[in-house]
A and B are shown apart, each in its own frame.
Chain A
Amino acid sequence: MPPAATAALPSIQALPTSGGMVPSRTTPAPKLTKQWQRESARSYGLGLAPALVVLGGITLLPLLTLITVSLTPLSLTNPEGTFHFNQPLGNYAQLLEDERFVHSLWVQFKLSTVGVVLQLLIGLSLALLLNTGSRVASGVRTLFLIPMVLPPIVVALIWKILYTPEISPMHALLEHWGLPVRSLIANPDTALWAIVAADVWQWFPFTMLMVLANLQMVPRDPLDAARIDGANRWQVFRYIVFPFLQRTLVVCALFRLIDSFKAFPLLYVLTNGGPGTVTEVTNFYGFIQAFNFSYWGYGSAIAVVMLVIIFALCALVSYLGRNAGERHAR
């Protein structure tokens, strides 16, 4: 619809509240009285209030508490003596010097980057392969969704069995084929990638599902036109399908990026952050500080830093995605 036409449309608020006919597009909108505006604003406020109260109660209050606690050296072994604001930035200063924390950020970066990229690639590839109307493809699609609907702890246990050579069918099979593999989660060179593999297995269906839904909406006309013009499959994908999917992929990347920072059950069950600290990601380190050592102030500071990083990354991914979309539109 051209912009001029949309501008002429009356706003919802401009519509008569009772009876009467909907004004035609050429009829100027009736002038709203101030009282009506007030009434309208009040009803919006009243309508939104319950949701806002709940949102504030379950999201904002804990968040404010987290930030407040992060400014104290609160330790639960001595809560009265440690809940003070003598050095409000003490925890943050300590984080800068904490090698284990810095290391955990690096581990987190590797886990998130590799994991999310692989999930996007595998999800996209499979969605393209399964984007047919055949019954087989439909059945396979359903099968692929199973990992995603399993509780994370169950997924962790499945992979714990797979990664424990003594009881693992995977290891037994590899050994049978003359390709014995040492324990992947006990080897510092492979432990993190073993976790990435499990994470990717669980979450690539999410990308696949989103992309598949999006593929169903790709308009036929540009595809037909491209084929008539002699474009090959790669060119059709590269210049028509992929740009169409780009925003969906950005949304998937965002969701998965946020979730990757919350990776916990896999780490807890498979490696407990080890061997040593090779799989100790930031939230796991925060968990150790808060729940193993009772340093809630420090643990909260780690959580706040993670929150800031996630926000920054989301903003960056959104910006890159938007830019790419605009470039394509030009």
Chain B
Amino acid sequence: MTRTTYQFENGVLVPRRKLLTSALAAGAGALLGFPAIAVGKNSLKGVTLNTSLYSSPYSKLIRPWIADFEDATGAKVNFDTPGFPVYNQRADLELSTKGSAFDAVNVTFIYSSRWINSGWLTPLDEYIADPNKTPANYDAKDFLEGTLAPERGTDGKLYGIPWQAEVTIAAASRFDALKQAGFAFPQTTQELEQVSKALNRKEGAAGFVTDNHYGWTFVPFLQAFGGDVFRKAPDDLFPTLDTPQAIAAAEYFARLLRESGPDGVVSYNPDQALQSIKSGKSHLSVQGQINLSQLADKSSSKVASTAAWGLVPKGPAGRFPGAAVHGWGIPVGSKNKDAAWQFIRWATSKEILQRAVAAGYGSPTRRSDIDSTVYRERQRANGYDIASLTTESIALSAKQGHMKYRTVAVYPQVDQQLNKAIELIVTNQKTPEQAMKQAQAASIAELRRAGVSI
């Protein structure tokens, strides 16, 4: 199989064959949008870049395109993409030792505060401001401000370039079955439970599925019931996991999983939860839109023609979609910082992100992509506008500020407690009250241990 190589021509990615036959070819001195004075053909020859993201649609999309970057710069890029939890553990360890194993890494949302404010990442402002390293057509201002905010440290500097803005949405795999049973798409937590129960075990599918990272999937429900993780993050980090609202939310959520989830749902990781709904073995789900938008993919989804999408259900206190941003960052220990920046700039350039969006990427971070016709069209399926659900969720998150809990340095410890608490309730090892009180006590202990004064 021959591989088409690409070059950028006036900011547009053009297949090389076309370029060679084009009259414009003579003027195509810039490669990948690099200014000739900074980076040219083989300017990074001999450099090996070790880069890592967790496995995601974006990483799968750019993997084959990295060859273009290598061809243009002469660099060799090792691109490591383990699963989400494995990536985080590996990166956390590597960054904390300030090692040089990686030159460019994912700045994971949940760890962003910890990694940035511990001084484990390199500030990127100087790279962006230097015209020799970043040409004007990179247009850093094109990134949504909401996606840049979590990438900034307490010093106001930028430590990551966002490549993914993910929000939680809801989806139904068999909307036809749902309508047949006389239901509309569930808009509230009450309706979600009602529909899940009614459809459970119908058509050989469970009523509701979500993944067992409850520190991510449960929190929209916790907040919808009027609860929260902390009293007022990031200023007041006293945990609030044992309030009546939090206990009610945990009871509701665990009941939803226990009574309407597939057998063994507490052992479902994100991939399993996604597979379950893509194969039509679960009716309803609340997950990240990066996953649920894949229901529309005819090549891998059995429910592409029957799927429906909506916002996360509204609870007594309102609607609180989860939102997460992931970015590219440079570890402080990297020995190839300049080359790493060139790679990040390439991987988050307008051209590459446009190309990803054209290929179906559903979580862009650039305003130009979100507003583009290509994105809007690609994110439309069965009459549903998934892009609108995404932007509406991002807007809600920005307006309500309810995601602040997630970017405090000690959230990973509390996240663990939430995971355990929900598992304990679903499997009837503890009552909601017992489990949430235990999570509260453990979280307080962990926060104090981490030096947080509460």
Which positions in A face B, CB cutoff 8 Å?
75-79, 163-166, 182-183, 185-188, 270-272, 274-278, 288, 291-295
Instruction: Tell which of A78, A183, A291 touches B93, judged by Cβ atoms closer than 8 Å.
Output: A291
Q: Are A185 and B267 in contact (CB under 8 A)?
A: yes
Contact pick for A163, options B212, B264, B424, CB 8 Å: B264
Q: Which of A77, A164, A294 is in CB contact (< 8 Å) with B267?
A: A164
* Complex: A77 Cα to B451 Cα, angstroms: 11
Query: Chain B CB within 10 Å — which of A182, A274, A291, A292 has the most?
Result: A274
Q: Across the interface, do B267 and A188 meet the contact criterion of CB distance under 8 Å?
A: no
20 pairs across A/B with beta carbons < 8 Å? A76-B92, A76-B96, A77-B450, A79-B96, A166-B264, A183-B264, A185-B264, A186-B266, A186-B427, A188-B429, A271-B267, A272-B212, A274-B267, A274-B420, A275-B424, A278-B429, A292-B416, A293-B413, A293-B450, A294-B92
Query: Given A294-B92, A294-B96, does the pair A166, B263 have CB atoms closer than 8 Å?
Result: yes
A165 touches B96 (CB 8 A): no
With A276-B423, A277-B420, A278-B429 known to touch, is A186 a contact of B265 (CB < 8 Å)? Answer: yes
Q: Is the CB of A276 within 8 A of B97?
A: no
**Which chain B positions have C-beta within 8 A of A272?**
212, 267
* Contact indicator B97/A76 (Cβ below 8 Å): yes
B423 touches A275 (CB 8 A): yes
The reply to whether A293 and B97 form a contact with Cβ atoms under 8 Å apart is no
CB atoms of A276 and B93 under 8 A apart: no
Q: Which residue of B lies closest to A296 (CB)?
A: B96
CB nearest neighbor in A for B257:
A186
**How many A-B pairs fall under 8 Å by CB?**
85
Provide the bound-state CA to CA distance between A43 and B418, in Å: 62
B427 touches A276 (CB 8 A): yes
Q: Is the CB of B263 within 8 A of A165?
A: yes
Which of A186, A270, A278 has the most C-beta atoms of chain B within 10 angstroms of its own C-beta?
A186
Chain B 79-93 per-residue mask, 1 if CB under 8 angstroms from chain A, else 0: 000000000010011
Task: Given the known inter-chain contacts A274-B266, A276-B423, A293-B413, please indicate yes or no for A166 contacting B281, CB distance below 8 A.
Answer: yes
Near A by CB (< 8 A), chain B positions 246-279 give: 262-267, 272, 276
Name the residue of chain B whose CB is nearest to the CB of A100.
B442
B262 touches A270 (CB 8 A): no
Query: Are A164 and B272 CB-contacts (below 8 A) given A77-B409, A188-B429, A294-B92?
Result: yes
Residue of A nearest to B269 (CB): A272
Task: Contact check, B427 vs A187: say whether CB atoms are below 8 A apart.
Answer: yes
- With both beta carbons as reference points, the residue of chain B lying nearest to A280 in the complex is identified as B420
Task: Tell me if B146 is interfacial: C-beta within 8 Å of chain A.
Answer: no
Given known contacts A77-B114, A165-B264, A293-B450, what 20 new A-B pairs fall within 8 Å (CB)? A76-B92, A76-B93, A77-B96, A78-B118, A79-B96, A166-B263, A182-B264, A183-B263, A185-B264, A186-B264, A186-B427, A188-B428, A274-B266, A274-B267, A275-B267, A275-B429, A276-B427, A288-B416, A291-B93, A292-B416
